[in-house]
Chains A and B, each alone.
Chain A
Amino acid sequence: MLCERCGKNPATVHYTQIVNGVKSEAHLCSECAKEVGATFGGNLQGMMSGFMPFVFGNNFFTEPFGPGSFLSGFMDWGMSPGTVEEELRCEYCGLLYSQFKKTGFLGCPKCYSTFRERLNPLIRRVHGSSNHVGKVPRRKGGNLRIKREIEELRAQLDEAVKKEEFEKAAELRDRIKDLEKKLKG
């Protein structure tokens, strides 16, 4: 299938758009997809409300944002056309940033440090956030775990005070103090 917009390149990005119950489809080449994507001004909400990735076959495992074509729609927003990007390479696994842009896959966990400056804006566009608030591994996140626990206890404390459960509040206060001591080491 050829791209519907330029009619030159093969269509590799497929979108379905549903507006007020009317479905329309778009089959674009990666270049045109980028340009069309850019008209949404890099606004994630705008992107999500209108488009969903067009999926084929048994779709149980199809990722909402698969790597590759769909992600590439997010990739270069904000970069002015014609800017030449300096090539970066991860020194641990050898992956080039340009390779990531093609496949959507990073090479190793350390790529995240190497490419941090370029990845962070992308991650913020995809997730609308760049701050993890979920589970923290016991092994690594020693201090982070404690901080989280303190936050959690503070919320419980507020709740207890509101409900005038003063005994419970006192207990919570003691636990928070203990944890804060632990944090200071």
Chain B
Amino acid sequence: MSWFDEKGPEGDVVLSSRIRLARNFEDLPFPDIISVEQSQVAIKRCKEALLDKGSSLSPQLQFLDLKAMDDTSRQALVEKHLISPDLARNYSKGGLILKNDNSVSIMINEEDHIRIQCFAAGLNPEAAWDIADKIDDLLEENESFAFDEELGYITACPTNVGTGLRVSVMMHLPALVKTGNINNVIENINKLGITVRGIYGEGTQALGDIFQISNQVTLGRSERDIIGNIRGLAMEILNAERSTIEALLKSSKLQIEDMVYRAFGLLSNARVLTSEETLRLLSDVRMGVNMGMIDVPITVLNKLLIMTRPANLQLMCGRRLEPYERDIKRAEYVKEILKTQSGGV
């Protein structure tokens, strides 16, 4: 069981909430120029503070040696959003401490010495913050973090100083995309110092209609304010999405049903599925589920979203696959899951 295939609050639209806290040791150079020996010091300190001290959290945490993994395994962690592509590339000085349900991942020597990431299903950044805050306190019992009375927590890049906090909410917004209203949403929100971007795909062309909303400003506002701000905006977007869905159901029910059933038909019958096509079809099916047209648990769709990504697919098959082979395996997997775990049309 993992946080990402759960259904959380407002889980029809909001897939997950993430908290990221950046922290640095005051006596070590930042990871960009850290030596191998110093990088080991940073890792050792994190392990001691979190794993060896016997807090109530310790038994659920484990250290993963990124060096001991192959590329596919590291990439699979990226697809699950547990490590960043940067850390997957520069793994030799890095470390990872992971909670057994994947809801906490602590990246060591990524851009900053420590990046605590906590995830919660659905719209629940508060729950993720409570855990991040606790882990920060645990680390701080042992270690002195770089901190400045004016600038707050010091980070490798000045864009993260202050709270070191990035709050992100991942949302599925098919109706806003299909009606073109997403551009207005993006425009309005960017005015507020909040970014909205597609998770998959290039540029603003978001594949799978999945967007991430996160704060830009980390200094001059309290953690609670930043979190409250993101929650408020997420609720506004969510309401816009839901009312657009209602409008679509009134104006074009038949067309939407046609689209949803076609997507479901393709996903449950196709023999070859590319990663892009899968994202697109999953989005349509998800929309159909939310409109009550089709009966597939949202948790199954969340799981498919991750497990059909290239590296996780290859891990599941236990070997490297050529792109075309991957598309065949993906179709097999999706078909099987939908047959066994959905109620169908």
Contacts and interface: CB of A to CB of B under 8 A. Distances in A.
B253 interface: no
B156 A106 contact: yes
Interface in A41-79: 45, 48-65, 67, 71
Contacts of A62: 197
B311 to A, nearest CB: 11
B198 A140 contact: no
Contacts of B200: 58-59
A127 interface: yes
Nearest to A141: B147
Interface stretch (B210-218, B235-243, B264-272, B283-291): B210-218
Given A23-B204, A108-B29, A127 B191 contact: no
A127 B214 contact: no
Interface string A65-101: 1010001000000000000000000001101000000
Majority secondary structure of chain A interface residues (helix, strand, loop or mixed): loop
Contacts of B212: 59-60
A185 interface: no
Contact of A95 (B33, B147, B204): B33
A58 B156 contact: no
A131 B28 contact: no
Contacts of A106: 30, 156-158
A128 interface: yes
B131 to A, nearest CB: 14
Contacts of B78: 58
Contact of B191 (A48, A133, A141): A48
B336 interface: no
Interface string A121-149: 01100111111111111111100100000
A135 B163 contact: yes
B152 A108 contact: no
B85 A57 contact: yes
Interface string B183-220: 11011001101011111101110000000101111111
Interface residues of B, number: 67
B152 A134 contact: yes
A127 B187 CA distance: 19
Contacts of B191: 45, 48-49
B273 to A, nearest CB: 18
A61 B214 CA distance: 11
Contacts of B33: 93, 95, 105, 107-108
Contacts of B29: 92-93, 107-108
Given A16-B204, A21-B183, A133-B221, A61 B86 contact: yes
A109 B146 contact: yes
A83 to B, nearest CB: 21
- Which of A95, A131, A138, A144: most chain B CB closer than 10 A? A131
A140 B23 CA distance: 14
B158 A134 contact: no
A48 B192 CA distance: 8
The 3 closest A-B pairs by CB, nearest first: A129-B220, A132-B152, A109-B146
11 contacts: A49-B190, A52-B190, A52-B197, A59-B198, A64-B195, A104-B159, A123-B158, A127-B219, A127-B220, A132-B163, A135-B223
